[in-house]
Amino acid sequence: MTATLPADAKAPDERLLHASPLHRLLGRPELGSVIGAVAVFLFFAVIADSFLSSLDTVLYAASTIGIMAVPVALLMIGGEFDLSAGVLVTSAALTSTMFAYEMTANVWVGVFVSLLVTLAIGFFNGFMLIRTGLPSFIITLGTYLMLWGANIGLTKRIQGTVSTNGIDDMQGFESARVLFASSVDVGSFKLRVTILWWIGLVVLATWILLRTRWGNWIFAVGGNKDAARAVGVPVHRTKIGLYLGVAVAAWISGQHLLFSFSGVVQSAEGRGLELHYIAAAVIGGCLLTGGYGSAIGAAIGALIFGMAKQGIVYAQWDSDWFWFFLGAMLLLATILNSWVRTRAEAAR
């Protein structure tokens, strides 16, 4: 009942001496990826001549991964995977362009229908997860294979070939292109609109994670689902919401894909990209087991991707080395992250 109360609760606690700013910094999930990003940047800045003058292209490459890496990171913090995220981007692009072409509709109608279809697929993933209780790895592997088949099968069936027809002469194409695939020159820097989408999503996701009830719930359902449910967190709604978030980002990415290439979309595209997103999130400090990570970390993970991808081109290496580089980055970043986290928690 009466326990030991300190004489003065407001006085700084003498046990807090060790929590120096450095240790606070070490406790951040992004730290490993920041160190990695600086190292990769310096490396290519030194060995690749045109790297520094092409930062706009580097950022563009990073943004195409980053738009998806952010919601995928949120999903991983919430304790789940989405292996279908890569082909879902292609599905979103195919839906818009084929709907607009076949129905001779305004391109914006196709874009809107695509949003509904993509959200429905995201909902399906989340719904199957909570209904069956199976691991999300299995559920979304199923969705991945089904979408992969349906993307190619339906495109062949509807358009006769494996790619869609161009829709750049159709109504609404130009205005939609401005939103999803335009660029503005700022001095010599070519600012692509995807970079703005990327930054916007990072800010939004960080706000949600750190300052809203949903963010608290995302950490909780990933960290300890049963405890979260027991204190009244709507676990099912949170998980479905996370899959819908991935769907919205896949829709944005898909529209970018479509509007960068006049509406011509290769139906077999997108396979393997889901691993890029997951790798970016993991490099950014997300735990595979859930409950830990950040949106900013995922953005930095995507930045490392962009730098490696373009840096290897500018260094005039064989572009296949990108994969080797990426695998090495993933291992190093993960080892660094877990080392840093253990140290930080021990220091507390």
Partner 1 sequence: MTKATDGTAGDGTAGDGTADDGTAADGAAAPGGPAGGGPLVELADVSKYYGNIRALEGVSLQVHAGEITCVLGDNGAGKSTLIKIISGLHQHDSGSFRIEGRDSRLGNPREALDRGIATVYQDLAVVPLMPVWRNFFLGSEPTVGRGPLRRLDVPKMRATTRAELLRMGIDLRDVDQPIGTLSGGERQSVAIARAIYFGAKVLVLDEPTAALGVKQSGVVLKYVAAARDHGLGVVLITHNPHHAYLVGDRFILLKRGVMAGSHARPEITLDELTRQMAGGSELEQLSHELQRAKG
Contacting residues toward partner 1, per CB under 8 A: 1-6, 9, 13, 15-16, 19, 207, 211-213, 215-217, 219-220, 223-224, 226-233, 291-292, 345, 348
* Minimum distance from residue 180 beta carbon to partner 1 (Å): 23
CA 197 vs CA 67, 97, 194, 255, 299: distances in Å = 7, 21, 5, 12, 12
The residue among 299, 310, 278, 283 whose CA lies nearest residue 66 is 299
* CA gap 137, 149 in Å, rounded: 18
- Which one-letter amino acid corresponds to residue 59? L
Least distance CB 47 / partner 1 (angstroms): 39
Which helix (H) or strand (E) segment is 189 a member of? Answer: strand 189-192
**Shortest reach from residue 16's CB to partner 1, in Å:** 6
> Would you say 19 or 103 has its CB closer to partner 1?
19
| Exposure string over 153-189, b if 16+ CB within 10 A, otherwise e | eebeeebeeebbeebeebebbeebbeebbbeeeeeee
User: Of 291 and 306, which has the nearer Cβ to partner 1?
Assistant: 291
Between residues 281 and 308, which has the closer beta carbon with respect to partner 1?
281
Shortest distance (Å) from residue 193 CB to partner 1 = 22
- Least distance CB 211 / partner 1 (angstroms): 4
Residue closer to partner 1 (CB basis): 68 or 233: 233
Contact 156, 162 (CB under 8 A): yes
Rounded to an integer, what distance in angstroms lies between the CA atom of residue 213 and that of residue 192?
A: 33
CB nearer to partner 1: pick between 110 and 215 = 215
